[in-house]
Structures are given as C-alpha cells and as structure tokens.
Structure 1
Amino acid sequence: MLRLLLGRAGSSSVISLRRDGFAYEQRFSLVNIKLKWVKDRALDAIVAGEGELRAACLLVSILACDPRHCLPIYHLLKHRKQLGLSPDLRLSTFIRRYPTLFSEFPVIAGGSTVPWFCLTDGALKLHQEEIEIFQANETDLVERLQKLLMLTRDRILPLQTIDQLKWDMGLPNDYSFSLVPHYPQLFSFIHLPDDRIGLKLLCWDERLAVSQLQKSSLAAAVEHYHHQWQQQGVQTLGFPIRFTRGFGLKKKCMQWLEEWQQLPYTSPYVDASHLDPRTDVSEKRIVGVFHELLHLTLQKKTERKNVSNLRKPLGLPQKFTKVFGRHPGIFYISHKCATQTVILREAYDCEKLLQKHPLVGIRERYAAMMKEGLLNRSRGLYKSSPCKSQEEDKDHSLQELEFSTPYNILSEDNLDENLRAPC
C-alpha cells in the first residue's frame, strides 16, 4: 500500500476511486487526521544558508541605484525594515561582515565621522550580470506575475502583498516601475477600497492557466509512468509525496492519504466557489493552490507569513495554512532563521534544487562572495574600520521607516510620479 501511495519519486500515483467507505466519507467531510512534524536537516540547511543573503542582495541593489554606487549609513537605515535583519543587529555591523561586497570610507560631517558604504568591483560586476539575466528572462518573470494574479478571484493583488513575494518569485526589487509599466496591455495600477495601490491583470491567458501538476501529469502520461482517472469530466491527480527519512505513517493515516490522493483535482485556475470548505475535496484544492504558488517561486519555498494575507484574494477558508501541517509529505515547514518557511518537497533531492533558474545561480555566487568575505575577515585580512556608528545611533529612529512606496498616501494624480524609478 505504501508503494502505491507514494508512487515513483517525483511523480504522482493515482488509483481508481471507490465510492464506498473511506473515500465516500472524504467527499463530504473533512477527515480529522493529524500527521506529525519530523525535522528534515537537509531542507533546514537550505533555509539557514539564506539567512542574510536576501538582505545583502537588497543592499547591493540599493547601492547600485546611486550613480556613485555609494551611500551614507543614515540613507541605508531608511531601508532597515525591508532588510529583515534582527532588531539587535546594527546595520553597519552587518555591512562590515561582507567586505567582498561592500567597502567603507569615512566622511567628516558636522564635526563627526559618518560611515559611507559603496560596492566593491566584484559586487558591481555581479550585479551587472544579474541585470543581464533579468533582461534575458523577462518574459518568464512576467508570466510568473501573470499566473500569480490569475490565481486570485479578481485578478488583483495589493502591491504590498506582491512585495512580500517578489524575492521568492525573482521579480526585480523595483518591479513596479522597471517591469510592470513595460506591459500596459497586461497590467494596470488601481486604487483599492482601503486606499492602497493594487496591481490588476487586464487579460486572461488560457495558455498559462495550466498548473504545474497538470503539466507533469501530461508529461508522465506520455512516458507511460502515470495513469490518470476521469469520471464525468472530473480529473483525478495525485501529488508527488516524499517524507523525511524515518517518517512513520500509521495504518489509518496511510489509508486516509491514499484515498485523499484519489479525490478529484480542482485546478487552482478555475472557480472553486461551489466546493464545500468542510470537505477533503476542498482541502485538496487548497493544497493545489499552494503547490502551484510555490512552483511560481524560484526556489520552491516562501515564508509562511508571506501567504497569510492571501486568504481573501485566493478565496480560501479560515485557517487555510493548516494544510501545510496536514500534508508533510508535500510541504515541509522549516523553523530556521526565527521564522516558518514552507518548502515544496518534490523540488529538492536532499539540499539540491532539481530545477535551477539562472537567477538562483547568481544568488549562489553572492552567497559564495559573502562566505569568502567572512573567512577573510576572520583571518584578519581586513583592518577594522576607524568609523564609529555615531550617526547610526543618532538616526536610530529611521529604522522604523519603510523602503517601499507609501501606497496608502498616493493619489490618482501622483500615482505615476511615485512609481517612477528613483535611480
């Protein structure tokens, strides 16, 4: 039964759906099954290795926007909140950890020394390569954004919600004015009822309205590795399932999961308002939505908090994130870096990402440069900076400022002006 349940690695297993007993019950009620969480060291290592990478890449992007590629500490402090660093870590301390990316020089101003930071030649060269990859993969990034909006009921998301996902999806940090305006036939900025600015998809692309699970199923069917069962036009697909080594399933859980895999699959791109949220059929649809959402990310993972405000746009019931815990064979929740990160298990072989986007390669090179800088610094190859963080102490209040555009104060008249690139 276990082999039937799990199927081949990386593929789904589907069996004929019975109408009696357990399968029938799942159609009309949500079965009360709870699977345990088991630590996965390989997937935890993926999250832990990215602890400070995002902050460093964002700082590189900010500094690269300046014509001199150099800014004072009090300017960088304005972006503090978006960096996601620990509150007790000084920004200047963080920047000085990575001398292969950032160099520092003091400037005397008002009788005190102010630290200025600029990009090293290596960081500037790597950033230029990153821009070239953005340009070469622009169509792919635009389609990811289209599919994200197509998952929602009204094809609309607040920019703040997209901002939370832009790193994971590979969107440029300044996507709202460097990418979106180039496609006026696809996207439009709109004012939401709560006075925020939202992004609306103007046209539906049927070519994109196919989930990754459906694509994989079709490919597997062609190779005769997968069988799909249909009744009255309803498609039945099972999700690829992998468990942490040593994960034990009780017989009751195995039976439930086997039957759950056989339930009808509802594409995340179709209207599911007719489904009763109290059933396992509805739960399978929710799993399908997040399965697809994670496939839209570069590394098939995102922080749990990034999807917490997607309930209404995606038309999901209350406590929808419980599906992550109920399906540990599909999703893994890592607790590293003082947060919860949801990872799609099928995308990894131990720590290896099976399908690597070119932007992931750039991020790995940033990580390698950061590691080299830490090692060189520990060997004493860099002198300690004579600068004191006096200005950082004076401007500590700037840490509360947001880097993102204050969408809530934009008016229709100044919308275009506020979304124009600052660099």
Structure 2
Amino acid sequence: MDNLLRTERDMENELESKRVDVVRKLLMMSANKRIPLSKIYHNRLLFGIPEDFRDRVAAYPDYFRVVIEDDGKRVLELVNWDSSLAVSALEKEFMVDEDKVKRAFKFPMKHGKALDLDMEDERKLNILNTLPLVSPYSDGSKLDLWTLEAEKYRVGIIHEFLSLTLEKRAYIHNIVEFKEEFSLTKHTYQMLLKQPRTFYVAGTQMNWCVFLKDAYGEDGELINKDPQVVFNEKLYKYADMQELESDCTVG
C-alpha cells in the first residue's frame, strides 16, 4: 500500500502542469474568468486535480489569483489569457476529421418539415445550422439566451467540460454546479437529449450521468486513459484483492 501511495504522489507531481492547464481552461471558459475555489475543489476528482490544489495555486502567480470576497468566499481568478489553450477538443477534431464533427451535432431548423425537403437537402440544411460551431472560449454571457448560437455555445461548453474530465463523463449535478460560470440554463438535460450522436445520458432522475460517446469503445471502455485512471483501476483492484483475502481469512 505504501508503494501505491508513493506512486500516486509521484504521479500527481508529474501531471501537475497538465492539471494546471485544465484549471486554466475552466477559468477561460467561465463568463468572468473566475470560479469559486469551493466549486473546483468539490469537482476536483472529475479532473484529477489533487486535494491540495488550493495550496498549489500559490506557485503559479502568472496564471492564478485568489480573491477573498466580502462574504469570505475564496474565488480563483485567471491572471493571463493563453490563446494556445483556447482551442477546444472539437476544434482540434474538426481539423483532423471535418466530416465527423459535422455529423456530431444536429440543430434542426424549426418548421423544417414544412419546407418539404428531401433527405439530402434536409441533411445539408442541418449542417448549415450546425456550423460554424461556437467556441466555448468565447463569451457566452453576451449571447441572446434562446438563440441557436447560444445553444451551440452551451453544447460546446458541455462537450469541452467533459473532454477535460478524466473519464469523459460527469453527473448532471457536476455540470450544473457551474451554471452561472458557463451561462447554462435549467434546460440543460433536455438540451443534451437532443444531441444523442455526441452525448449518452444514463442513470436515474436527478442523478443523470453524461458521457462523451466518442471517448468510449464498443466494449464500454475508455479508449484513451489518463494515467490517473489507470492508477485508480489498479487501486480498485488492490482493494478488491484485500477484501477477498479478508473474506478468506474470516472464512
């Protein structure tokens, strides 16, 4: 067990710069480039952020600033914008496989059926409605809430949020905890259901889990596993073995 704990500490140190970039990207996605520290801490396991990250941010004054508000709330603010980080996973994928991204989402035109289009023309119209995508690193708070552009933005925000997580999935309550920061609405769940090509929603009411479909293979396994995920799997296996040995001893 000591070896596992030592391995975890070493891994956290090796991955620190990567985790720092994740926090920077979350701040860059937020409306005012600031997020309460408590929200990041509460959701830290989603992103592989170490438990002591609130102490670690002090080592990055060029990236972060902690502000204490009048009510005592500690808020993490972005110090410098980095254009190299303001590229979403979707935008990177678009440069590699444009057609795949075109098929990923569907924003049907309202009253489109009344136009009496054939399937090919309807497909082209849907692509026109889908593209261009709206970057999650743009300021969504300035968009008219119920426009197509705003919905594209919110879909892009959630896609990028999930892309930054270790397992490319999150519970709906994890996502809506950032409702104010990411300009989300109370209709987030319904919005996700409208994009079944990209998001898979599973679970029970009020405890839905949202998956990025493309991140998983047909066997239900993550295609690309973060080192933290691999370590966690080893840890779970170790715990299962310990429990089994304990049961055998009791028996």
Q: With structure 2 as the length reference, what TM-score do the two structures score?
A: 0.84
Alignment of 1:39-78 (within 5 A): none
Q: CA deviation at 1:280?
A: 2.9
Q: If each structure's helix is expressed as a fraction of its own residues, which one has the higher value? A: 2
Give the number of aligned pairs.
236
1:353 aligns with 2:222: yes
Larger radius of gyration: 1
Q: How does 1:93-112 map to 2 (within 5 A)?
A: none
After TM superposition, list the pairs within 5 Å mapping 1:87-166 onto structure 2. Answer: 123-166=1-44
- In the alignment, which residue of structure 2 is the partner of 1:196? 73
- Aligned position for 1:364: 233
Deviation of the 1:239 alpha carbon: 5.8
Q: Measure the CA separation in 2 of the matches of 1:273 and 1:307.
A: 17
Structure 1: runs of 5+ lacking an equivalent: 1-122, 221-225, 229-236, 242-251, 384-423
SS at match of 2:140: coil
Q: Aligned Cα RMSD in Å? A: 2.7
Secondary structure of the residue aligned to 2:92 is helix
The equivalent residue for 2:126 is 259
Deviation at 1:294, TM superposition (A): 0.5
Report what 1:240 is aligned to: 104
Asked if the contact 2:154/2:183 (under 8 Å) is kept, the reply is no
Provide closer, same or farther for how the CA distance between residues 274 and 189 of structure 1 changes in structure 2, counting only shifts above 3 A.
closer
TM-score by length of 1: 0.51
SS in 2 for 1:302: strand
Change (3 A) 1:348 1:360: same
> Which residue pairs with 1:326 in the alignment?
194
The equivalent residue for 2:85 is: 208
Query: Cα gap change, 1:194/1:346 in structure 2, threshold over 3 Å: closer, same or farther?
Result: farther
| Percent identity between the two aligned chains | 29
Question: Partner of 1:377 in structure 2?
Answer: 246
Task: Work out whether residues 264 and 281 of structure 1, in 8 Å CA contact, stay in contact via their aligned partners in 2.
Answer: no
2:50 to 166, 172, 175: 172
Deviations 1:129-170 (A, max 9, x none): 111111111111110110011100111111111122210100
2:31 and 2:140 in contact (8 A); partners too: no
C-alpha distance in structure 2 between counterparts of 1:166 and 1:264, whole Å: 32
Shift of 1:256: 8.2
Task: Summarize the alignment of residues 330-349 of structure 1 with structure 2, pairs less than 5 Å apart.
Answer: 330-335=198-203, 339-349=207-217
**Paired residue for 1:50?**
none
Q: RCO (CA 8 Å, sep 6+): is it higher in 1 or 2?
A: 1
Alpha-carbon distance in structure 2 between the residues aligned to 1:239 and 1:284: 14
Which segments of 5 or more consecutive residues in structure 2 lack a partner in the other structure? 106-112, 114-118
- Matched to 2:67, the amino acid is I
Q: How far apart, in 1, do the equivalents of 2:103 and 2:157 lie? A: 12
